[in-house]
Each structure stands twice: as structure tokens, then as C-alpha cells.
Structure 1
Amino acid sequence: MNIFTLFNFLNATLATFVLLVGSIKNVAFMGVVICNTLIGIIQELNAKRIVDKLSLISATKAKVIRGGKEEKISLNEVVVDDLVILESGNQVFCDSIILEGSCEVNESLITGESDPVYKKVGDEILSGSFIVSGKVKTQVKSVGKDNYAAIITSEAKTVRVKKSKILNSLNKIIKTISFVIVPLGIILFLKQISLENNVLQNAVVNTVAALIGMIPEGLILLTSTVFAVSVIRLARYRVSIQQLHSVEMLARIDILCLDKTGTLTDGNVEFVDFIKIDDDVNEREILSALALHLDSNATTNALKEKFCLDVSWEVDDIIPFSSSRKWSGVSFKKIGTFVIGAFEFVVKNQNEKIKKIVNKYSSNYRVLLLAKSNYGFNGRKLPKNLKVLGLILLRDNIRKEAIKTLEYFKEQEVDLKIISGDNVLTVLDIVRRLGLDITNNYVDASTIANDQEMREAALKYDIFGRTNPHQKKIIVETLQESGKTVGFVGDGVNDVLALKQADCAIALGSGSDASKSVSEVVLLDSNFDAMPHVVHEGRRTINNIQRSATLFLVKTIYATVLAIIFLFINLPYPYEPIQLSLTSVFTIGIPAFILAIEPNNEKVKGNFLTNVISRAMPAALTNVVSTMLIMIIGLVLGLTLKETTTLSVILIAFMGFMLLYKISYPFNLVRKMLMVFVILGFLSGVLGAPNLFSLTELTLKLWIIIVILIGVAIFNFKFFTNLYYKVRKKYPKYFE
């Protein structure tokens, strides 16, 4: 990928032409191309090695039954006819047939339909879907390329590819250059060969000089290298980056949406108390039975720790918990049906007395209802005649690092939205304990009637309780439509739709397979405090690539404009490739690389392409004017072509150093040393080896002209800079 690129092909072709006419020293520009390519390959290989290592750590394991025993194996070890256990949160990796149990499956990543589909014995479940609730034993029907998801598309199980704004901008530049470089090169060569006393070698060398000036060699590779370095750095904090450019999107977010459970809290809950509504209820026996048969999750785990009686009631039916239902239950033969769930979803005709009790405890605890019916489940619906037996009080454990991390995002002017499936009063309690000042701006999403009302609420409120997966997605969509860049942090199956929709999806390593499979960033240790490091790395990446790209585009713009001008004048193109290699190394190559790996935590502002062009255009136009002015002075004063070329090379280098000074300010030790090094390096080439670079020795007359032209260049640079900002202010829509 780094070797067989359009620009490398063009550079190799141009180098071949130069070699064919015998100008060996002018092939020096290929040295820069080769170095850039090698650096890019080495860094991306390092990044890939680290990503593969982290992926191995967080890789999903398949739970299979072999030889009558359960064992966990890598997904690529699963074969046809293997018996696989799938439970809530698992992503289905092979097309399979259910042998035992039942479950609800979300097939949205394949079909686009978000409603869970009930599956029972004999039904087929497809790869790319994920288990919302329930537990099943399945037999693998097909693997690898024979899977349904693989047949439809190789990307069916993963998040849609979210494009990088930086890469999009660079691709626009590449397309523009690719469109003009070949026809412009042919016409310029024909013009140069037609000049009086101009031989084939000079025409080829001059044309190649113009074209390599137009090519921003190394820019794409530098960008990939910077992204790769970010991946390597973030690996130190146990952060796995699924796509190289993912860190860019988190650095750009305006709003960060957080699912409370597992992000602000650690996903574990503590049983606090049972409040009896029915004085005759034996909660220890009932809750022990329910904890034994319901799917393992934070709630049932808390109940198992507290209630562990050996209850041998015969099970008739089980309805596992799902985030859309907000309840789960078990029907026991000759005993009755018991349901645990949220008050709003279990008690349809809400009893005001019970509601007051629920609200009383919800401000400090997570409250679940325990209810009983003498009837069985109505399909997948609640049984009739439910009677409330009591309230289960649970408390979430807040992540210690969450407070500091949320304060960081507030300082960075990133808006926060807390989205949860829990009671809004419980969410408020968590938010208060975290010290956030958004506790007066909340809504119970279960009271919102339709999508339109949900869209209005998304823009109005900051805390959402009782949200279902579809509503979470609506919130993210609405914020994006309002022009915001949205990040979403989640860990559960109920977060998948929102994660898939978000501009940057961040999953916790302890989260479900489904949430990790659709996320670009995975916090392997589930450490929320790693988030600021991701933002810092993203800012460093964007800001530094922006600065480096400015240096590259100055050369591209002025070389393109200059080539067009020389189509209409009867003068030889003033540069040779080796001269541009000298200026490029010291004004672009070395500075761009050093600046690209520097720390930079400035907030990302503006459009990438607009920012780059606004900095590059004044310097590029100044170079064009300086070159044409030197051509005129050369004709008036009778200077040789070598003398005018020497003046042009020095003026271009000076403008490069001036731009480098501007984008490096304020200076630190590294930037000061960089400025001194590149200036001395360039002067050593001009003064120490003029013949190597086809330059002439500087006389007093040339020094005087240089000083005058430098003064003119400074004036022109300021003029074009002011002109650019005036035009931008007058016509802002063209610079968005």
C-alpha cells in the first residue's frame, strides 16, 4: 500500500525520463521518495504488530462443547457441527441452528431492522447478528466465507467505515493534482522543447522539475505514519484502535454521550435492601430461585451473592431480560410466575401509592419491582393480574476515575449527555455523586411518544432515563443533524445501534462482543480515565498533520501556478529537480517530520483543508511573484540563467523558513534547534556545494539583489495573507 501509490508511480516515471537523458544527479529526488516510503512501512508494521497484539488480548472466544466439556477457543478454530453456547451480549460468528433454549436476536447489522427477533429450537441464527437476551446451545452450520454475512458483504459484522476528515481532504488534493499533472506535463514539455537553443536534456529536466514540485511526495505517507505513531502511543494506555484514523474523530467531538452503566459506573451493582409491599412474601426463597434461573448479569449476580437458597422449583418458562422490555421473569409449575423489572414497564396501570414509594427510593438507589402472577407468560408478554410483592434496592458502584475524566471534558468545552435505560431519578443520583452541574435538565424517555418528540428532546435535555436502544440511536442522529460531532461510550448490547451511528464509537473491554465489534476505539482495561489520552493523541495528530501539510502544499501550489505561467512565456523553467530536492529537504521534509511527532494539545479548530490552504496560499503566491520578479530582473540586468536560478532557490528557501517560523511559533527548544539546523543545512548546500546543485557562487551584486528581494517577499507575504483573510471574511461560505 505504501509502495504502489500513484505518486510513487509518477515519481518513478519522471526519474526514468531523467535517467534516459543522462542527468543522473537530478534523480536525487527519488532518495526522498524511498526514505518516506521506508519510514511509512516501518511505522505501519510497528502499529500493525501492536494492534494485532492488543486484538489478541481482547479477541472474542467461542464457548464450545467438545468431549462433553465446555471450553473456550479462538473463533478461527470453530468448525462445522461444533456445539456452541451463545448468551446475551455475544455476537453470532457462524450461521447456526438452535438445539436447546431460546433467545432474542438483533439482526440490525445485517438487515437494518433493529427490532429483536425471537428464536427457538430449530430456528437458524445468522452470523453478524447478536444475542439480545436468552441463552442457547447451537450447532454450527457454516463457517468463514460460507456464512450468510460473508456472502452478503465482508463488512456486515462491523461498523460502517467512518471517513477521516483529514484523509478526505488529502484525497481531494490528490484527485486535483492527478487530474492536471499529466496533461500539464505534456504541454509544458512541448513548450520547453520548442524554445530556441533548448536541448532535449534541458527540456526533460526542466519539465520534471515542474512536475515533482507539484507532487506533495511524502504527505500521505507522513499522515499514515503519524496515525500509526498514535496507535503505538495509545497502546501504552491499553487502548486498542481499530482504524488508524479513529483517534482523529474523538479529538473533534463536540458532544460525548455516555451510557451510565459500565462507563460512569463499573457495571457492578450491590444489593442494598428489599422493601416489602406484601408482608407475607418470602423474598429469600423467590429471589434465590430467580437468581438461579435468569441470565447472568449485574443484577442477578448481586442477587446470587445475597440469596443462595437451594430452591428446586420446576421451571415452566423463562423470559430473559432485554433492554427494550426492561423486565425478566420465570414461570414455575404449581408456584406461579415471578417478574423482576422497572416499575414503569411492569405495572401498566400504575398504582400511585407504589409509584410514590418507588420515587422515594429512586433518588438514591436503582429500584426494581418484584411481582407475581398465577398465570403464565402471554407469548413474550407480561402475564396478567400481576401483583407487586416488593422493591429490590440496588446501588451502582461509581468509577473513581470517572469524576476526573468528566471534569476534563467539561474543561475542553465538550458537552456531555448521560443516556441510560435506568430510572431517570437513579441516573440523577449518579450524576450528583459525580458532581456534574446538569442535574436540572433531564427527561424520562419512556414518556416520549414518538421519534419526533425524541428528536426534540435530544436537543433540549442532557440526562435521559429509561431510553431504549432505538431512542439512543435517535439522540445521536439528531445531534449529528444539528452539526455536532458525536462520540458515544458504551458497553452493552443496548448501545450497539448508537455506537454504530456515532462519529466515534468507544467500547469498554469488559463490554459485550457486539459493542466492541462496532467500535473504533476499545478501552481494553475498561479504564475510563484513558479517554483524555485518546483526545490528546487525536489533537496532536490533527494539529501536527495540519502544520506539516501546510509546508507540502506551499510547494504544490506555487509549482502548479508557475508551470501554467511558463506555458505562456518564452523562457526556460528556472529549476532543476536537484535544486527542488535541496529546498524540499530543509523547508519541508525534515521540518514536517519533526513537527508531526511533537506534543500538541491545542483544541482542534476550523476545517482541515481551509486551515491548510489559508496558511499555504500566501507563501505560495509570494514564491510565484518572487520567481517572476527574478526572471524580470535577470532580463533587465543581463543575469545568466544560473544566476537567476540561484536567486530563485534562495528566495523560495527563505519563504519556506519564514512559513516554518510562523507555524512553529511559540518556540520551544526543539523548534529553535530545528530552525537553526535547517537554515544551516540549506546554506551549507548553497555555499559549500553550488556545483552539485547547479547553482552559482554568490557575488556582492547577487547578495544585494537577495537582500532587496527578501524585503519585497516579506511585504508580498503580508499582503497576500491580509488579502486572503479579507476574501475569507467577505465570502465565508466558500471556506467552510
Structure 2
Amino acid sequence: MTTQGAAEHAPTTASSTAGPISSGADTPDTGLTADQVAERTAAGRTNAVDTRSSRSVWEIIKANVLTRFNAILGALFVLILITGSIADGLFGLILVANSLIGIVQEVLAKRKLDRLALLNAPITRVVRDGVVVEVPTAEVVQDDLVELRSGDQVPADGFVRSGDGLELDESNLTGESDAVGKRPGDEVRSGTSVVAGIGRFEAAQVGPDAYANKIAAEARKFTRAHSEIQSSVNTLLKYITWVIVIALPLQIFSQARVVGDQGWRQVVIRSTGGLVGLVPEGLVLLTSVAFLLAAVQLTRKQVLVQELPAVEGLARVDVVCLDKTGTLTVGDIAFEDIHVIGDPRGNDDGVGEDELRCALGALADDANANGTLKAVAASIDPPDGWDRIATIAFNSARKWSAACFTGRGTWILGAPDVLLVEHDPLRERVSELARTGRRVILLASSARASLDGPTLPEDLVPEALVTLTEQVRPDAAETLKYFADQGVAIKVISGDNPQTVAAIAQRVGLPIDTSTRSETGLPIGVVDARTLGTDPQELREVAKETIVFGRVSPEQKRALVRALQAQGHVVAMTGDGVNDALALKDADIGVAMGNGAQATKSVAQLVLLDGKFSHLPDVLAEGRRVIGNVERVANLFLAKNVMSLIAIITAAAFALPFPFLPRHLTLVSAVTIGIPAFFLALGPNKRRYIPGFLRRVLRFAVPAGVIAGVVVIVSYLLANLHYGVPKGQFSSRCAVPEGLKTVADHACWQPGAGATVALLTTFFWILLVLARPLRPWKLGLIGAMILIAVLAFAVPIGREFFNFDLPSGLFWQSFAVGVGGALLVELVYRTSKEIRETHHVAD
């Protein structure tokens, strides 16, 4: 019991915030029969709701296969197959492999996530055919007779049929932490939990009709975590699509004009070579895989990711809104101390503290103990020689319990405002303790050896004030300090008493000075939300200045989140109660505790399965890793796209064949972009989130791509001066005869081989720049890619496959052009302080 909440501010029950529960059938005490259960199940009157934690297999396949770029590459692949040049269709196999990797990775992750969700599915005890059985909560049907015991969650809405000391914690609905007693005929709501006693209720409204699930359904609407990465990538893809649409006729026209006399096959092959380079085929895949593997990694730390972009989202958060109960505290109270009052009867010595502890232990040694007595029992063992002869169980209407013990009289434990007379000076002491956030109860004694029903003895003597505190999560203070060090602001938004919330906030290290108070009597930075409205615009200023909000309604929680968002903040909301669900839905990132209400877990993007707040830094670290690494690989892909566009435009302007065959670009893409990007996307990255993902990518990738495009054309033009086939002999020596896949004269491809060397040199330097800071594993990765590229030129089968013919003079000439490009790339990197700072971070 608190001394403040019950009498002064009666808790708002669920029935006051929702419509009345409509009565169902009058189920007999033996419960439903098997036939009745089957009939209701067939009619869909069950407690099942859709709370999928991942996409279906078909949705996964569609997302990875049916994309615009797969369609473009697929069409180009078909054209290459028609020409008969299978080697130039290698990109098609990579396309299939990429899609398969994405599908397999996501299906495996889906199974893991769904299995975790299933393992955390709750069960419920119901009476059927006169027997109490356990069934999955989703299989509870309308009119079921549900049995409730201490610790159970109420799975549906209904009416109490019977009960013995039944008390529910409705803080999930109201935010109030005081237990509410329930008698036969009283309403119960889904999302609440049993804190004391036992009882049975008839389930009148189940599934989507239950109160908690109605809130979840409302909160589920339009909930998708915003991802700056995905939004930026989608913007890039939209523009690249238009570039492809414009470049397609230009490429076909220019290649038809230049190599048309060599036959239509050459036109198709050369045109395809340029267009393949415009497609960032692996960017979307790698982004999805990075999110996915981060989600799987977090499951090992008991974090269920229900929306993949949420991994990135938490890294962008700059304000975290916390509910007190279940987030900062574990939701349970713990015995703290006994404050001996002394004997008011004038004797020199009152009852000693040891005797009082024995009395408390004896009172707590009760099979039907409520939450307060359970907290005492956890700290004080039952004494020997205290034989209970009579008991009056705690009742939330009376607010006290009592017991008689042989030879030791009667002992009473209850709320001070009920047990003390109106003007007792002890009330001031009670208020002082209550203002520190403690719960205060009074231990009193009576000389009477028996109890006359639920009536207080007239000779009641106050013996001690007993203080209890809410158990602060041991990881809360350290986690909040971590967020403070990262520049993330903390707001505590609770439905509980603001004095209590402020005291808890101070205990976990938030800057609350309880010694300095405002005109309202509350500490500075603490607000009683009953003095506020629900308009987000009106709440903007108070949301900015206040740290702790107490007595907050569910609608106000939602409004405060929106007020912070209106100021440009990225807001995360944590909570465990149904009253948190709407705020979690509107927050940029919703985080639910694993032991919280199902309605809350179903709308959250992240669920902390073991309820440990300390996992949030792990999620933040994963988000940073994803953001930083995807930015790196996006630079690689976009630089290749820009390079291809420059090569297409300049080849058309100078009436040149496109410098590369599709197989050449496949090699360059594989060793400088595709394979390295996969490993870089999964590597460590501790860089803090910095806004401007797309702007930074464009600022580096566009000039780097332009440099690479110029390198290609310069190297190709220089090669044409001294190597290859004289221009007048090109058509006769380099045309592909009917029925052959390629020409036998490799000199025809010498300029292309030289351009490939130059492009590889420049792109390997781009890779080195983006991989900084360089670590042994990165150097090993890049070294392996260089070796593969060298083997493609050095090994006969590689030279034959890629049509490489590279005299030493051409190699050194092309390599020198590539080095010049690399130096220009380094200059771009060094002249941009922002790019340098974001790339050069400690892994």
C-alpha cells in the first residue's frame, strides 16, 4: 500500500476507460464441455490474434525476387543468352545467387524469430468438463471459465464468478501501481495481472474484442519503423531507375552506330555491358541482410526484433521515454526497514525491534499473503513459537489485515491513513517517508486475544512504520548513464504518483533534486500530468523542460511522444503495460518488456524477452554497425553506377565501343564491390549516428564515380593509340562470325583489358578508402580480392574466359592511369572533413 495513492487519488480502473463488458452465457461451475469449446472454436470465437513476428515465406520470396532491378537484370540476362555469349551472362548467375542468399538468410531468421515468439507464448488455466486444464492463451474461447492465481495475466475481458482475496494489478491499463480488489460480479480486463488471491471469471470478450487487443489493433495501424537507410536507398533507386530509362536508348543507339557493322550480337553485348553497370544489384540485398543478421545476433541477447529497421532506428534515437513500472523497476516491492515508534502509553521501553520483526514475520507467514506481506516474507523468516489462531485477510476496501497469536495478542498491518486517528502527529512522519518514494504501512498491536470479524480493535497501539520500496532494476542506472554519455535525453513518463516516480528517478541517477521544489510542491523538473492537457502542440515546451511526468494518462503518453517528435527528436518509448501501447505505436521505436502485456509486445518493434533494460545498448551498437557499414557499401555501389553512366555518355560522345564486356564489369563488381561489401557490411563499426546518410554518400560516391569513369575512357583511348587493332581493320578482324561466341583475335580486346586494369586500380583504392580504419582482417580481405583479380589476368583459363590480352607496356600504361585516378580519389577524401571523420572511426 502507498499512503498517498489510494485515498487521495483513487485509481482509474479499466472500466472507466473503456465501454462496458457485454455479458455472455451463464457458464456452469463445471465450465464448458468439449463440444461447446469445439463449436466456439469453429465459429472463430477464440482468443487468437495475429501477432506475427516476421513476414511469411511467400512475402520473403517476393521481396527478394520481384524487384525492379531484378527485372532489369533478368531482361538483360535473357538478351545475353540470345546472343549465345554465356560468359557475358555471368551477372545473371550472381543475380540468382544474391536472391537465394537473401531468401535463405531471411527464412532461417524467420524460423528463429517465430520460434522465440512461440516459446514466449503464454498459457491459461480454464475449467472444462469440471476439470482445470492448461491451454495456450490463444485457445481460450468465449464463455470459458478461467481460473486466476497469483502471478497470472488476465487473458480476456469478463466478470468475476468467484474469488478469495482476489486482487489485480491494473497498472498496465491505468499506470497506477496500487492493487484493486475484485469481488464476484466485478469486471476484469485483459492485460491486467493477479497480485494476490485466487478466483475464477467468465470470459465474455476474447480475441480482437478484448480491451487489450483493441488497443493493440489500433496501435498496429500504419506501424512501420522509419529507416533512414532504407528511405535513402529507395530514393537512390528511384533516381537510378530514371537514369537507366534515359541511358538505355542512348547506349543502344551509340553502340549500334559504332559496332553495328559487327552484327547485332555485338550491339547487344556492348550495350548490356554498360547497362549492367548502372544496376546496384546487391545494394538492397546487402542492406536487408545487414538488418537481418543484426536481428539474429540480438536474439542471442534475448532481444526479439519484430521490425528489422528498428535495429537502425534505435541508433538514431536522441530521446528515450521510459515508463517507471516494469522498466526502471521490476514491478515488485521489497521490504526496506522498520521504524520503531516507541510506546505511546508512557512506558520507558516499548516493544523492541526484534519483537516487531517477529510480529512482521508471523503476519507474513500466510498462505494467502498479498503483495505487501510477500515482500516482507522475502526478507523476514517466520519466527518460532508464534501460533496463529485467527486471521483477517487483507482487503483493498479495508486496507488492513490482522492475525491473532497464542499468548501474543493481535497484530494489525495496514494503511496509516486508515489505522491512525485523524490528527495523529505520526501522519506527518508518514508523509515525509512517502515523499521519498517509499511505501509506508503501519504495524499496530492490540491486547485482544481474538478478532471480532473485520472490525478494528479499540485498543489499537501503533508500534512501527514499515517502509517498502519498489525494486529498481539493477541494470537501470548503468544503462541510463550510458545513454546520457551518448547524448540521449531521458524522460520518465508514468501513471504513478509523481513524488514516487521522482524518487525512483533520483535513485537511478537522473538529475532530480528532491530538496528543491516548485510552486506545486514537486521537485524541479517533475510535473503532475493532471495539470496538463493532451494537445501535443501545447505540451511541446513542458516536454522539453521536464524530466519526470507522473499521473500520466495513456492519451497523454501518446501526446508527449508526439510533442517531442514535433521538436525534431527521434523518440524511443519503453513500457510493459497496455496503457503504454499507443505511445509505443507512435514512437519512432517502441520497446516492450518481455514480461509485459501481450498488447504492448504486439505493437513494439523490439521486445526485451528477459525484461533486461541493459540490452538496449546492445541494440544501439548493432544499429550503429548497420548504419556505418551500409553507408560504406552504398558508396561502393553508387560509385560503380556513376562510373558506368560516365562511360556510356563519353563512349557515345566520342563514338567509341563501350569499353567493357559484361563479364569484365562482373569481375570488377565481384572483387571490388560485391564480395568486399558483404564482409564490410557485417564487420564491427562503433561510429555514432550522424544525420545525412544520403548527402554523405552522394558527396563521396559521385566524384569518385566520375573519376573512375574518366579513368576508363582515358585508359581506353590511350590503349587504342598503340595497342589493339587499327581502326580500319576493326570490323574485319573483330566481327563475331555466325555461330561463334567470340572472336579468336584477342588483340581486339586489348583496349578493354587495359581499361579493366585501370578501373580495378582506381576501384581498389576506393575500397581501401572506404574500409578505413584498416584492420588486419580488412587488409586480408582486400589482399584476397587483388589476388583473384591478378589470377584472372595471369592464369590461362582466366585470360581465355575474360578475353584478356595484356602486353606489359599496356599493363603499365593502364596501371599508371589507374594510379592517377586513385590519387584523385584520395584527394576527394582528404578535402572533405565530414567524409573523413565519418569513415575514419575505431572499429
TM tier relative to shorter chain: 0.7 to 0.9
Q: Deviations over 1:340-388 (max 9, x none)?
A: 9999xx9xxx999898545511354424699xxxxxxxxxxxxxxxxxx
Q: Secondary structure at the match of 1:396?
A: strand
1:668 aligns with one of 743, 751, 775: 775
Partners in 2 of 1:496 and 1:436 — Cα distance? Answer: 24
The residue aligned with 2:569 is: 484
Partners in 2 of 1:42 and 1:242 — Cα distance? Answer: 18
Q: Work out whether residues 477 and 501 of structure 1, in 8 Å CA contact, stay in contact via their aligned partners in 2.
A: yes
**Relative to structure 1, is the Cα distance of residues 303 and 726 closer, same or farther in structure 2, using a 3 angstrom cutoff?**
closer
Q: Secondary structure at the match of 2:224?
A: coil
Q: Secondary structure at the match of 1:667?
A: coil
Q: Work out whether residues 90 and 513 of structure 1, in 8 Å CA contact, stay in contact via their aligned partners in 2.
A: no
Query: Deviation of residue 17 (structure 1)?
Result: 0.9
The residue aligned with 1:74 is: 136
The residue aligned with 1:218 is: 282
The residue aligned with 1:247 is: 311
1:624 aligns with one of 686, 709, 731: 709
Matched residue type, 2:224: V
Does residue 462 of structure 1 match 2:547? yes
Q: Secondary structure at the match of 1:697?
A: coil
**Relative to structure 1, is the Cα distance of residues 98 and 726 closer, same or farther in structure 2, using a 3 angstrom cutoff?**
closer
1:414 aligns with one of 482, 488, 491: 488
Deviates more, 1:393-402 or 1:431-440: 431-440
Deviates more, 1:75-84 or 1:685-694: 75-84
The residue aligned with 1:175 is: 238
Q: Secondary structure at the match of 1:26?
A: helix
Partners in 2 of 1:502 and 1:541 — Cα distance? Answer: 21
**Relative to structure 1, is the Cα distance of residues 626 and 367 closer, same or farther in structure 2, using a 3 angstrom cutoff?**
same
Query: Deviation of residue 267 (structure 1)?
Result: 1.9
Query: Deviation of residue 476 (structure 1)?
Result: 2.0
The residue aligned with 2:507 is: 433
Q: Work out whether residues 256 and 415 of structure 1, in 8 Å CA contact, stay in contact via their aligned partners in 2.
A: yes
Matched residue type, 2:486: Q
2:618 aligns with one of 513, 516, 533: 533
Partners in 2 of 1:561 and 1:76 — Cα distance? Answer: 59
The residue aligned with 2:65 is: 4
The residue aligned with 2:699 is: 614
Partners in 1 of 2:424 and 2:147 — Cα distance? Answer: 43
Point out the structure with max Rg over C-alpha: 2
Matched residue type, 2:749: K
**Relative to structure 1, is the Cα distance of residues 519 and 159 closer, same or farther in structure 2, using a 3 angstrom cutoff?**
farther
Partners in 1 of 2:677 and 2:476 — Cα distance? Answer: 37
Query: Deviation of residue 430 (structure 1)?
Result: 3.1
Q: Deviations over 1:566-618 (max 9, x none)?
A: 45553222211110111011001111111111122221212222232233222
Partners in 1 of 2:116 and 2:391 — Cα distance? Answer: 43
1:60 aligns with one of 122, 125, 135: 122
The residue aligned with 2:333 is: 269
The residue aligned with 2:438 is: 366
1:334-353 aligned at under 5 Å gives the runs: none
Q: Work out whether residues 540 and 563 of structure 2, in 8 Å CA contact, stay in contact via their aligned partners in 1.
A: yes
Query: Deviation of residue 682 (structure 1)?
Result: 0.9
Matched residue type, 1:643: Q
2:814 aligns with one of 706, 718, 736: 706
Q: Work out whether residues 303 and 606 of structure 2, in 8 Å CA contact, stay in contact via their aligned partners in 1.
A: yes
The residue aligned with 1:29 is: 91
Q: Work out whether residues 249 and 504 of structure 1, in 8 Å CA contact, stay in contact via their aligned partners in 2.
A: yes
Does residue 505 of structure 1 match 2:582? no
Deviates more, 1:190-199 or 1:513-522: 190-199
**Relative to structure 1, is the Cα distance of residues 312 and 8 closer, same or farther in structure 2, using a 3 angstrom cutoff?**
same
The residue aligned with 1:444 is: 527
Does residue 15 of structure 1 match 2:77? yes
The residue aligned with 2:663 is: 578
**Relative to structure 1, is the Cα distance of residues 559 and 149 closer, same or farther in structure 2, using a 3 angstrom cutoff?**
farther
Partners in 2 of 1:130 and 1:501 — Cα distance? Answer: 20
1:655 aligns with one of 762, 772, 778: 762
Does residue 646 of structure 1 match 2:753? yes
Can you give the 5+ residue segments of structure 2 that lack an aligned partner in the other structure? 1-59, 174-181, 346-358, 383-387, 401-413, 443-461, 515-523, 726-747, 837-843
Matched residue type, 1:137: F
Partners in 1 of 2:274 and 2:762 — Cα distance? Answer: 18
Q: Work out whether residues 159 and 519 of structure 1, in 8 Å CA contact, stay in contact via their aligned partners in 2.
A: no
Q: Work out whether residues 103 and 120 of structure 1, in 8 Å CA contact, stay in contact via their aligned partners in 2.
A: no
Q: Secondary structure at the match of 2:261?
A: coil
Partners in 2 of 1:264 and 1:550 — Cα distance? Answer: 41
The residue aligned with 1:717 is: 825
Q: Deviations over 1:528-555 (max 9, x none)?
A: 2222222222211221122122212211
Query: Deviation of residue 706 (structure 1)?
Result: 2.1
Partners in 2 of 1:162 and 1:202 — Cα distance? Answer: 47
Q: Work out whether residues 126 and 134 of structure 2, in 8 Å CA contact, stay in contact via their aligned partners in 1.
A: yes
The residue aligned with 1:164 is: 227
1:50 aligns with one of 101, 112, 116: 112
Q: Deviations over 1:710-734 (max 9, x none)?
A: 3431354356557878999xxxxxx
Partners in 1 of 2:658 and 2:151 — Cα distance? Answer: 66
Q: Work out whether residues 442 and 462 of structure 1, in 8 Å CA contact, stay in contact via their aligned partners in 2.
A: yes
Partners in 2 of 1:515 and 1:81 — Cα distance? Answer: 25
Partners in 1 of 2:436 and 2:309 — Cα distance? Answer: 41
Deviates more, 1:485-494 or 1:561-570: 561-570
Query: Deviation of residue 150 (structure 1)?
Result: 10
**Relative to structure 1, is the Cα distance of residues 220 and 152 closer, same or farther in structure 2, using a 3 angstrom cutoff?**
same
Matched residue type, 1:542: I
Q: Deviations over 1:392-442 (max 9, x none)?
A: 742122222223322322332222223334444434443443344454752
Matched residue type, 1:5: L
Partners in 2 of 1:147 and 1:513 — Cα distance? Answer: 12
Q: Deviations over 1:610-664 (max 9, x none)?
A: 2322332221111122223234435655754623322221222122211111121
Partners in 1 of 2:643 and 2:74 — Cα distance? Answer: 22
Matched residue type, 2:433: Y
Matched residue type, 2:811: W
Q: Secondary structure at the match of 1:665?
A: coil
Q: Deviations over 1:25-58 (max 9, x none)?
A: 1111123223322322232222112212211222
**Relative to structure 1, is the Cα distance of residues 313 and 413 closer, same or farther in structure 2, using a 3 angstrom cutoff?**
closer
Partners in 2 of 1:698 and 1:638 — Cα distance? Answer: 9
